Amino acid sequence: MTETERLKRVLEVLRDRPFASVRDLQSVLDASPATIRRDIAKLHATGAVRKVFGGIAAADAGGILDRVSARPFTENQMLGVTAKKAIAQEAAALVQDGDALIIHGGSTCYLFAMLLANRNVKIYTNSMPLAATLWQNGTCHLTLAGGELYREPGIVFSPKAGPPEFYASKFFLGAQAITPSGMQESHPLVVRETELLLQRADEAILLADSRKFGLRARNAMMPLTRISTLITDDGISDANHKMLLDAGIRVIIARRNPEIP
CATH number of the domain where residue 45 is located: 1.10.10.10
Q: What is the pLDDT of residue 118?
A: 96
Check whether residue 111 and residue 40 sit in a common domain: no
Question: Regarding beta strands 182-185 and 55-58, do their DSSP bridges make them parallel or antiparallel, or are they unpaired?
Answer: unpaired
Confidence of residue 67 (pLDDT cuts 50, 70, 90): very low
Residue 51: CB atoms within 10 Å? 17
| Residue 167 belongs to a domain | yes
**Averaged pLDDT of the chain:** 85
Same domain, 203 and 241: yes
pLDDT in tens, 91-140: 999 999 999 999 998 889 999 999 999 999 999 999 998 999 999 999 99
Q: Are 108 and 35 part of one and the same domain?
A: no
* pLDDT bracket for residue 186 (50, 70, 90): confident
pLDDT-based confidence at residue 200 (cuts at 50, 70, 90):
very high
CA distance 108 to 81: 8
Determine the pLDDT at residue 59: 63
Number of domains in the chain: 2
Average pLDDT over residues 173-182: 90
64 in any annotated domain: no
Q: Do 37 and 101 fall within a single domain?
A: no
69 vs 180: which has the higher pLDDT: 180
What local confidence, expressed as pLDDT, does residue 243 receive?
94
Q: Are residues 108 and 11 in the same domain?
A: no
Q: Report which of 79, 138, 70, 69 is spatially closest to residue 103, judged by C-alpha positions.
A: 138
Three-state SS annotation for the chain: CCHHHHHHHHHHHHHHCCEEEHHHHHHHHCCCHHHHHHHHHHHHHHCCEEEECCEEEECCHHHHHHCCCCCCHHHHCCCCHHHHHHHHHHHHCCCCCCCEEEECCCHHHHHHHHCCCCCCCEEEECEHHHHHHHHHHCCCEEEECCCEEECCCCEEECCCCCCCCCCEEEEEECCCEEECCEEEECCHHHHHHHHHHHCCEEEEEEECCHHHECCCCCEEEECHHHCCEEEEECCCCHHHHHHHHHCCCEEEEECCCCCCC
- 50 and 109 part of one domain: no
Same domain, 30 and 77: no
Quick one: 51 and 133 in the same domain? no
Other beta carbons less than 10 A from residue 82's beta carbon: 16
pTM above 0.85, yes or no: no
Q: Give the pLDDT mean for 18-32.
A: 82
Residue 65 lies in a domain: no
Tell me whether residue 153 is in a domain: yes
CATH code for position 100: 3.40.50.1360
Q: Is the pLDDT of residue 214 over 80?
A: no
41: nearest Cα among 18, 1, 2, 10: 10
Answer yes or no: is 261 within a domain: no
Query: What residues make up the domain containing 7?
Result: 3-59
Tell me the mean pLDDT in the region 169-189.
90
Residue 92 domain flag: yes
> Could you tell me if 51 and 167 lie in one domain?
no
Task: Give the domain-ending residue among 39, 59, 79.
Answer: 59
Shared domain for 200 and 107, answered yes or no, is yes
Confidence class for position 258, pLDDT limits 50, 70, 90: low
Does 192 map to a domain? yes
Tell whether 259 is covered by a domain.
no
Q: Is residue 119 a contact partner of residue 103, using CB atoms and an 8 Å limit?
A: no
Strand 100-103 relative to strand 49-52, pairing: unpaired
Residues 241 and 212 in one domain: yes
Residues 37 and 159 in one domain: no
Q: What is the pLDDT of residues 190-199, one digit of tens each?
A: 888 899 999 9
pLDDT at 16: 63
pLDDT in tens, 143-158: 999 988 887 778 888 8
How many whole angstroms separate alpha carbon 89 and alpha carbon 87? 5
